[in-house]
Chain A
Amino acid sequence: MNGALFSFRRFWAVVVKEFMQLRRDRMTFAMIVAIPLVQTMLFGYAINNDPKHLPTAVVCSDGSPLARSLEASLINSGYFDVAGRMSEAEAARAFKEGRILFSVSIPSDFGRRVLRGERPEVLVEADGTDPTAASGALAALAGIAARAQARDFQGPLAHLAPRPAPYSFAVHRRYNPEGLTRYNIVPGLMGLILTLMTVMMTALAVTRERERGTMENLLASPLTPLEIMAGKILPYVAIGHIQMGIVLAAALFLFRIPFAGDPLVFYASSAVFMAANLTVGVTVSSIARNQLQALQMTIFYFLPNLMLSGFMFPFAGMPDWAQAIGCVLPLTHFNRIVRGVLLKGSGWPELWPELWPIALFAGIVLVLAVASFRRTLD
């Protein structure tokens, strides 16, 4: 065969065609801009892992000043919004109906027993169906009892005041001193949006040709499979970069996420990450018979990325086998790279261990993509 396996001219013909079609497809064009922008804004502002002002019921038949000051200190912590006093039965119903997340039961002789030094128990019930929502508030309880009632135990009651521990913990949250959720969410969204968009758009772009019967035209022409594939991918690499730019701009200027590291490291890593996703997109498009199947397969790939990459849930908390799956996914490593570059100011030496798994993934899937694309010819 003396025909070149790759001709830039033919490849460029496909790229130009792809852009022309994109320009006509207003909806897709709008989505390219709207999805990263809207999602970053929406999730960046909406998601908070340390929720406060949680609806709480106080079940109390004790009128003592100590009970009242306990209630006040619950409110003052900022975590609990006391909806009012309720009977036990009312509180149980409110739990079921989802009106409250906490109930605090203060026993009827609370004040008296405290004064007697009996250390009465205050029962705090939490709605455990959403552990994340309750965890912050429950962690704050210890401090509430110790600190907020210090005022009550003065003078003759001083012996009731808790003794301070012989040492104390000084906690310092590195890279995110205020513990802001958006420092985690917004950089994480970058990889998530890129994964969804690049995989889906390449998968659809190729299956669309098959579904409409135009693929036969491409295959019957002098175009080689490599030219078709590369020509269809390049436009989405460009779009991926635009989308990344949008999310990055939103992160820096709207959410005031610091950019501590080297932009070059960031750019190079995201190019490798995009390449990995595009190979997945091409593989999907070779296997899927139509656009609907392509979409379903994209979601099938996207969900583990969402759940196991350490974006939604802490990576360290997953069992070993799940971590192993997570380690295969490019998004897991890309999330660490983005956090590393943006928040920690990491450079090549720190990020290389995260970059090569993405490159390896891209290489292996590329072989798979080319092999499955070839098979569709016959």
Chain B
Amino acid sequence: MDACAHVIDVHGLTKRFGRRTVVDGVSLAVRRGEIYGFLGPNGSGKTTSIRLMCGLLTPDSGRGTCLGFDIMKESAEIKRRVGYMTQKFSFWEDLTVRENLDFTARVFGLPRRRQAVEEAIEGLGLQTRAGQLAGSLSGGWKQRLALAACMLHKPELLLLDEPTAGVDPAARRDFWEELHRLAAKGISVLVSTHYMDEAERCHKLAYIAYGKLLASGTAREIVEGQGLATMAVQGSGLQELHARLLRDARVEQAVMFGSSLHASARDAKALGEAVRGALSSGQTCTPAQTGLEDVFIFMMNASRDSFGVRP
């Protein structure tokens, strides 16, 4: 059966709020044990898509299954088997770590509830803070608590909505190591993020902008799919060069990356001429590998133009 291979398999999901179409014909397939990255600018419909998939919202049109259950009709079944971590910390700040976990365990009707809660606390390394109010935890600890709580009922699929926003790099790294451990155990993960390093840790990616799915596949597939060539420029006075390149029609995109400037275009030859012609003394340029970030910025600008949305 199809559902065995795909934990999420949705087609043409559309959701409108009033006259605004927030999610527009999104199709997505996530395999078992896969970490699927969900990328896109703010307000692109990532959160709404995730809510549609876990049965929190009903789509206006489209169909699909989540863990083999119909997202239109069997949202209760889906909710029981999916771990959903909201973008904003959504546990109770005036309850302690243990009370939050205990409530979640009660709601999911876990057998041997107390034991499950204590195990989760141990797994978190939170034994000393179990009696602390959740509101007094730091961002990183809150995020770990939220993950532990949505893992409590041993879901087969995790839906994580920007789980690492506002979390320090070390905690982020730990978090992603944990995700890979879970994936190795056969748990599937759909995770939305803004971070490129996180995107590169995913098995597969989908890029969504203005409610439309623009690309999906592995990172390499997405990069190759756009057929962009990129030149990297090092040196001084890059700001002026940046301005000059933006006016050149042969350069489709010019982005500053710290100490270097990335110029990209689909026509590699024309790009090379344009960049070399614009260089001043003290600046060197080399052909560079087009990165995910170059591609995402390119797709976002392209989609903005084609949908007539003002930046």
Binding site for B on A (CB under 8 A): 1-3, 7, 9-10, 12-14, 16-17, 20-21, 24-25, 212-217, 219-224, 377-378
Task: Determine how close the nearest CB of chain A comes to the CB of B271; give it in whole angstroms.
Answer: 46
Is there a chain A Cβ closer than 8 Å to B93's Cβ?
yes
Task: Determine how close the nearest CB of chain B comes to the CB of A2; give it in whole angstroms.
Answer: 8
Chain A residues near B90 (CB-CB < 8 A): 212-217
Chain B residues near A24 (CB-CB < 8 A): 94-95, 133
Binding site for A on B (CB under 8 A): 54, 56-58, 73-74, 76-77, 79-80, 84, 86, 88-95, 99, 103-104, 106-109, 133
CB distance A219 to B104 under 8 Å? no
Chain A residues near B80 (CB-CB < 8 A): 3, 222
Q: Give the A-B pair count, Cβ closer than 8 A.
A: 74
User: Of B58, B93, B99, B108, which contacts A221 at CB under 8 A?
Assistant: B108
CB distance A378 to B57 under 8 Å? yes
CB distance A213 to B86 under 8 Å? yes
Closest residue of chain B to A5 (Cβ to Cβ) is B76
CB distance A219 to B56 under 8 Å? yes
User: Of A2, A13, A25, A216, which contacts B103 at CB under 8 A?
Assistant: A13
Give A223 to B84 CA distance when docked, in angstroms: 14
Give A108 to B180 CA distance when docked, in angstroms: 105
Given A25-B94, A222-B79, the answer on whether A217 and B86 have CB atoms closer than 8 Å is yes
Give A132 to B89 CA distance when docked, in angstroms: 56
Given A17-B103, A21-B95, the answer on whether A220 and B86 have CB atoms closer than 8 Å is yes
Chain A residues near B77 (CB-CB < 8 A): 1-3
User: Of B73, B84, B92, which contacts A1 at CB under 8 A?
Assistant: B73
CB distance B92 to A21 under 8 Å? yes
CB distance B84 to A220 under 8 Å? yes
User: Of A10, A222, A377, which contacts B56 at CB under 8 A?
Assistant: A377
CB distance B106 to A13 under 8 Å? yes
CB distance B91 to A214 under 8 Å? yes
Give A378 to B60 CA distance when docked, in angstroms: 11
Closest residue of chain B to A25 (Cβ to Cβ) is B94
CB distance A10 to B107 under 8 Å? yes
Task: Determine how close the nearest CB of chain B comes to the CB of A240; give it in whole angstroms.
Answer: 22
Chain B residues near A213 (CB-CB < 8 A): 86, 88-90
Give A7 to B106 CA distance when docked, in angstroms: 11
Task: Determine how close the nearest CB of chain B comes to the CB of A370; give it in whole angstroms.
Answer: 17
Of the candidates A25, A219, A377, the one having the most CB atoms from chain B within 10 angstroms of its own CB is A219
CB distance A10 to B79 under 8 Å? no
Chain A residues near B107 (CB-CB < 8 A): 10, 13-14, 221-223
CB distance A16 to B94 under 8 Å? no
Chain A residues near B91 (CB-CB < 8 A): 214, 217
Give A7 to B109 CA distance when docked, in angstroms: 10
CB distance A222 to B94 under 8 Å? no
User: Of A20, A25, A215, which contacts B99 at CB under 8 A?
Assistant: A20
Given A213-B88, A213-B89, A220-B86, the answer on whether A3 and B76 have CB atoms closer than 8 Å is yes
